[in-house]
Amino acid sequence: MRAIRRQLASCGPLPVALAAWCISGLPGAALAGETSVERSDGGVDLMQDSTDEGDARSSETSAVAEELVDAVAEHEHDVPLADAVTTADGRAEPLRILGTGVEPGSAARLSWSATQLFEGVPVSTPVLAVNGALPGPTLCLTAAVHGDELNGIEIVRRVLHDINPERLSGAVIGVPIVNVQGFRRGSRYLPDRRDLNRYFPGNPNGSAAARIAHSLFTQVIAHCDALVDLHTGSFERANLPQIRADLRNPDVVTLTLGFGAMVVLHSKPTAGTLRHAATLAGIPAVTVEAGGPSELELAEVKRGVEGIDTLLAALDMVKKRRRWSDPEPVYYRSSWVRADNGGILLADVGLGTTVRKGDLLGTITDPMNNARTEVRSPWSGRVIGMARNQVVMPGNAAFHIAIQADDFEVEDEAAADVAPQRERGGYVDGMSE
C-alpha cells in the first residue's frame, strides 16, 4: 500500500484508468460523477423546493464548517493512511468517544443522542466500537443517513460483530442507523422532510438537520482517520455495488484500491454530504452504493461485507487473506438514460451488464394503447444503476451507464447530456448520497 501511494504522488505506474487521470490532469468538472443533477426521478425535491431554502441551508452550515475543520485538523495525521499500521509504534491506547473509553482489545456498544422528539424525549442510536489490541488507524462506518436504506445497516452489523479485538490493529467505529427518525418512519428524510445528507458538517444552532449533522460530525466522525459511508439507490432505483470517490485525493485512492473487486466511479462529493465534509476536514472518505431502498438484499449485503473485510486486510488492520484480488474497472464519466415516453418500464438488462452503443436497455409500453418504445444506450459502458420495473413519466431516470473511456468522444447532442448540469437541491444525477 505504501508503494501505491508513492506511485500516485509521483504519477508513476498505476492501473490504466488511474494513470490516464494522473498524467492527463483532467479537471474535476469534466470527470465522472459530476455529469448532471437531479433531485429524484424528475420530481420536485421534498425539501429543497426553493432557492431561498437552499441558500439558508448553505449559510447555516458554512458558518461553522471552518471551525469544525480546524478542530479536526488538530488531530490530523502526518502519516499516510496506507502507512498507518506499519509506522505505528508503542501500545494501543483507549479509544475515547461519546464520553466513554474503550480499552484496547475490547468492544463496546455505545449510544449517540443527536436530538429530541417534540415531546422532549431523547432520540438515540447505537454506536458500535471495537478497539484493537494493537495500534493503528480508526476506520468509521456509517449507514442509514437516509432512513430507508437498509443494506448498509446489515453490512455494519456483520462487519463489527465479526471483528476480533485481540487481532485488530487500530479501531473500527460503526453507526448502523444515523437517521434513526427516518428509519422508524421508513423514510429517506427527517420528520421535517429535510435530507440529512445535505447539511454536513452541520451547525449547533441551525435547523434540526444541521444540529444532527453537527452532533454526528463532532462526536463521532472527528475521531476517525477514514470513513466509509454506506448508501443504496433512491426512489425505486438500485445501484450495482460500487464505490463513489474523489480520485484526486491520494488517501481516498488508497481506500478505493483496498476494496478489491468493486466498481469505482470517480465523483467529486456534493457540498453538504458527509463524504464532502469529512474529506474537507482531512478525513479521507468514500461512499459505497449497494442495491436499492426499503429492502434488505442479502447478495448486496454480502458484497459490501466482503469489500470492507478486504479493505481492513489491505490497510493491515486485520491479518486475513483478501477475498477479492482482481480489481474492477475505474470509470470517470457516467450518465442516466431517461425515458422519452410515459408508460410501463420493463428492463432487458440487469445491474452490471456490459452494453455497447445502441444496445437495447428496455422498453416502455403505454398501457392504454399498447404503444411500445425502445430505450437504447447512447454509449458503450456498463449498467451501474437502474430504475426498478415501474410506471415512468417522460424524463424519469431509467438506466445509469458508466461510460467506458474510449467512448468519451460522443456526438454533440449526447455530450450535452454528459456535461455538468446543476439544478436546485445539489443532487448529482444517479447518486443516492
User: Residue by residue, what is the 3-state secondary structure of 25-85?
Assistant: CCCHHHCCCCCCCCCCCCCCCCCCCCHHHHHHHHHHHHHHHHHHHHHHHCCCCCCCHHHCC
Report CA 357 to chain centroid distance, whole Å.
28
pLDDT at position 35 is 34
pLDDT in tens, 237-295: 999 999 999 999 999 999 999 998 899 999 999 999 999 999 999 999 999 999 999 99
Could you tell me whether strands 330-331 and 263-266 are parallel, antiparallel, or unpaired per DSSP bridges? parallel
Report CA 383 to chain centroid distance, whole Å.
18
With pLDDT > 70 as the criterion, what percentage of the chain qualifies? 73
pTM for this model (two decimals): 0.81
pLDDT in tens, 92-141: 899 999 999 999 999 999 999 877 666 667 788 999 999 999 999 999 99
CA distance 232 to 300: 10
In order of their start, the domains of the chain are: 51-314 (3.40.630.10), 330-403 (2.40.50.100)
Lowest mean pLDDT among 80-94, 185-199, 367-381: 80-94
CA distance 50 to 47: 8
Q: Are 38 and 397 in contact (CB under 8 A)?
A: yes
pLDDT at position 41 is 34
Coil/strand/helix, residue 311: helix
pLDDT at position 48 is 38
pLDDT at position 325 is 58
- Mean pLDDT on 388-416: 76
Q: Which residue has the cell 477479492?
A: 324
With a cut of 60, say whether residue 74 has pLDDT above it: no
Answer with the residue of higher pLDDT: 433 or 262.
262
